[in-house]
Amino acid sequence: MRAIDSDHAASAKGKRLLGCLLAVALLLTAGWFLVFRVNRFRLEISLEGTDPVMVEYGSSYREPEWKVTLRGSLLWKDGIDVSDADITVDGTVRDDVLGKYRLTYTARYFGLQASAERTVWVVDTQCPQIELEELPEKDDLTLEDYRNAGFAAWDNYDGDVTSRVKRLESVGKIEYAVIDSSGNPGYAQRLVPDLDPVPPQLTLTGGSAYELPVGSPYIEPGYSAWDDPCGDLTPQVAVEGAVDWLTPGVYPVTYTVADTAGNTATATREVQVYAKPRPQIQWPEEKTVYLTFDDGPGPDTPRLLDLLDRYGVKATFFVTDSGYDDVMKQIVERGHSIGIHTVTHDYRAIYASPEAYFADLLEMQQIIYRNTGVLTNLMRFPGGSSNTVSRASCQGIMGALTKMVQDAGFCYFDWNVDSDDAGHAKTTKTVVRNVIDGIRENPVAAVLQHDIHGFSVEAVEQIIQWGLENGYTFQALTETSPGFHHDIQN
């Protein structure tokens, strides 16, 4: 019986021990469950290196390190490394193709999972290389030798980029530059002794447009030229082109200058010669006489002025440079019209060319202005517009001049009554008869006389008396008066 009791006691003791172990196991399991439940474990994966990772084209991509960490909210807050976690990587990097690549990393550990992404750029940051051909060492190298020297450019990604090279010449050097498809610049330079690729600076005084009226001689407004390093090149400027200041039109004048390096600068001035508008002619409605006197002033002109004053008659004087400057002034002061005739009355010289005629015309205009203060544009051709003496100097000149003077703003006057005091009439009586007969035939008459002939001046009083008695008005010529133009004979 005792033996049976002993076995029974041992069996009960074993059962109690097993129960205790089971209880402890259950407590531990429940404890670990509570720890995981309450501690809230999480898995983290961190990638080493920069983001993004830059990989140079042509070099091998080496994967940076990564790290897996287990963290809890109560235990292992600072985390513990989990080196035996299962890691997978999705994505590839081609280091021979430029572009952007994305890699995804996934870590798994005891039912926990974490992921991270890495960006990888395969880039080309290497600059193209430019190689310059070496020139032979000799003393007679020219600028063209330097300009024509060869060069080549190569890029690690684009290959041969020689065709993309741009050249720029500046003082003392030639620069070569190229940019590859990734925007990387390449540069080289060749030093060139005394290279000056910059042309001179050419400046036109007053600009490239210039206007002047017909009859105003073209006077060069001016220009200047400057060059680095040559300095002032104004004296070397070549001017080409003629301006016909007597004919309306546009005339180009070209300016050219070159520096010692052969660089040339050119500029053009457009000179517009324009015709002045012609006045509107007004014919008198009543019988009118225009007394006109050529070739003076002379010794008889003062008493002619006194006579005209007595009758209150105004006349027109087409004057020459006769030396009676004070009488010119009296003509204007007494209210008469003054016009241009000629300086010398030398037909052969005056009508040698349009330029010669205008030189005489403009000179006489200035003489009148200097003595009277009046810049007159009234004029009469020596011999009249129908003269034939000009043929000996220049064929067809009168046809040209009659248009030119009007384009220049001058008003030329001929006559329709000739006293003939410069021809066959040698007495006062003849002059009176010629003039009165002519006036009878012309209700509006322009009378030609010469105040350098005393007998013709003597005839003026009788002419005035007859005209007043027969209802004529005496007037001085103005810009709007009839021109009484003759038929052109040359």
**381: containing domain:** 288-474
Is residue 267 in some structural domain? Answer: yes
Is residue 85 in some structural domain? Answer: yes
Q: What is the mean pLDDT of residues 163-169?
A: 91
Percentage of the chain beyond pLDDT 70 is 91
pLDDT score of 130 more than 80: yes
- Is the pTM higher than 0.95? The answer reads no
Q: Report angle CA 233, 238, 239 to the nearest 5 degrees.
A: 130
82 plus 168 within the same structural domain = no
80 plus 176 within the same structural domain = no
Q: Is the Cβ–Cβ distance between 172 and 165 less than 8 Å?
A: no
CATH of the domain at 413: 3.20.20.370
pLDDT score of 20 more than 70: no
pLDDT score of 17 more than 90: no
pLDDT of residue 452: 97
**Domain final residue, candidates 191, 214, 238:** 191
240 plus 378 within the same structural domain = no
465 plus 331 within the same structural domain = yes
Cα of first residue to Cα of last residue in the chain, in angstroms, is 181
84, amino acid identity: D
Average pLDDT for the chain: 90
Q: Which of 383, 380, 352, 387 is nearest to 365 (CA)?
A: 380
pLDDT one-digit tens code per residue, 329-361: 999 999 999 999 999 999 999 999 999 999 999
pLDDT score of 139 more than 80: no
Q: What is the mean pLDDT of residues 217-246?
A: 93
108 plus 215 within the same structural domain = no
65 plus 83 within the same structural domain = yes
pLDDT one-digit tens code per residue, 456-474: 999 999 999 999 999 999 9
416 plus 452 within the same structural domain = yes
Cα distances from 388 to residues 152, 341, 382, 393, in angstroms, run 79, 17, 11, 10
206 plus 165 within the same structural domain = no
CATH of the domain at 210: 2.60.40.10
pLDDT one-digit tens code per residue, 104-129: 999 999 888 989 999 999 999 999 99
pLDDT score of 7 more than 70: no
Using 50, 70 and 90 to split pLDDT, how confident is the model at 1?
very low
pLDDT of residue 173: 86
User: Out of 4-18, 195-209, 379-393, which region has the weakest mean confidence (pLDDT)?
Assistant: 4-18
Is residue 20 in some structural domain? Answer: no
Residue 418 φ/ψ, nearest 5 degrees: -110, 120
Is residue 26 in some structural domain? Answer: no
Question: How many angstroms separate the CA atoms of 294 and 378, rounded?
Answer: 13
66 plus 115 within the same structural domain = yes
pLDDT of residue 4: 45
Q: What is the mean pLDDT of residues 235-248?
A: 94
Is residue 30 in some structural domain? Answer: no
**Domain final residue, candidates 141, 166, 191:** 191
Q: Report angle CA 209, 210, 216 to the nearest 5 degrees.
A: 165
**Domain final residue, candidates 250, 274, 298:** 274
367 plus 462 within the same structural domain = yes
Is residue 489 in some structural domain? Answer: no
pLDDT one-digit tens code per residue, 247-302: 999 999 999 999 887 889 999 999 999 999 999 999 999 999 999 999 999 999 99
Packing angle between helix 428-441 and helix 460-469, nearest 10 degrees? 30
118 plus 245 within the same structural domain = no
Percentage of the chain beyond pLDDT 90 is 70
pLDDT of residue 2: 46
CATH of the domain at 140: 2.60.40
pLDDT score of 36 more than 60: no
pLDDT one-digit tens code per residue, 64-103: 888 899 888 777 778 888 888 889 999 999 888 999 999 9
Number of folded domains that form the chain: 4
Alpha helices, H only, 69-186: 143-148
320 plus 422 within the same structural domain = yes
Q: Report angle CA 243, 246, 249 to the nearest 5 degrees.
A: 60
Is residue 282 in some structural domain? Answer: no
Is residue 3 in some structural domain? Answer: no
